[in-house]
Amino acid sequence: MYIRNAAEMITNPPPKESTEVTGASVKCHLIYIPAESLQVHLRGNAITSLSAGFFRHLTHCRRLYLQNNQIFVIDVEAFKGLESLHALHLGYNTLSVLQPGLFVFLSHLNALFLEGKSISTLEYEAFTGLGSLQALYLNGNKLSAIQHGVFSELKLLRELQLSYNEITHIEEGTFELHTLDICLHTSPKSSCECNNLH
């Protein structure tokens, strides 16, 4: 069950397992999300930032869709409370850097979607706290280098999508997981030394 009219949702929020709010003028601070929602769809809005604790009441939410917004700032406590989240869709926003500790509250996350033309830097410890992550999608961004240790905490990672970035250098020892499936199709503009892929 979905609500597509933001005004109706704000004034008369119904209880349901799945919540959807769409509309180019919707701002994050105007949205009411029922606490019992298992899936929250906020894709395709005008959201530019995520403040600390905005999702703190969504302790049962398992899938959160935030793709195709204009998000460029995320507080390090924005995802606090999402202790049951299994999948987070953040692709096609305007994030350029993933700062350390951004996902520290998402210990049960299985899949993280960060695809889409904006991310140029992965800070060391950007994926701290994601011990359950199995699939990471970073394809189609502006990454030029992958530093050693950036994926070191992702012990259960099985699929890593890095296709169509601008990667020219991968530090030795970056990929130490022998069961990891890495997709690294490069764009015509990049020429990557892939000797460090094991």
In 3D, which of 23, 22, 73, 21 has the Cα closest to residue 48? 73
Residue 99 above 80 pLDDT?
Answer: yes
Mean pLDDT of 94-104: 93
Mean pLDDT of 110-132: 94
DSSP conformation class of 148: T
pLDDT: which is higher, 188 or 19: 19
Mean pLDDT of 105-125: 94
Contact, 98 vs 119, CB < 8 A? yes
Q: Which pLDDT band, with edges at 50, 70 and 90, does 20 fall under?
A: confident
Residue 76 above 80 pLDDT?
Answer: yes
Mean pLDDT of 84-101: 95
Please tell me the distance from the alpha carbon of residue 71 to that of residue 97, in angstroms, as a whole number.
12
Mean pLDDT, the chain, integer:
84
Contact, 196 vs 170, CB < 8 A? yes
Q: Which pLDDT band, with edges at 50, 70 and 90, does 183 fall under?
A: confident
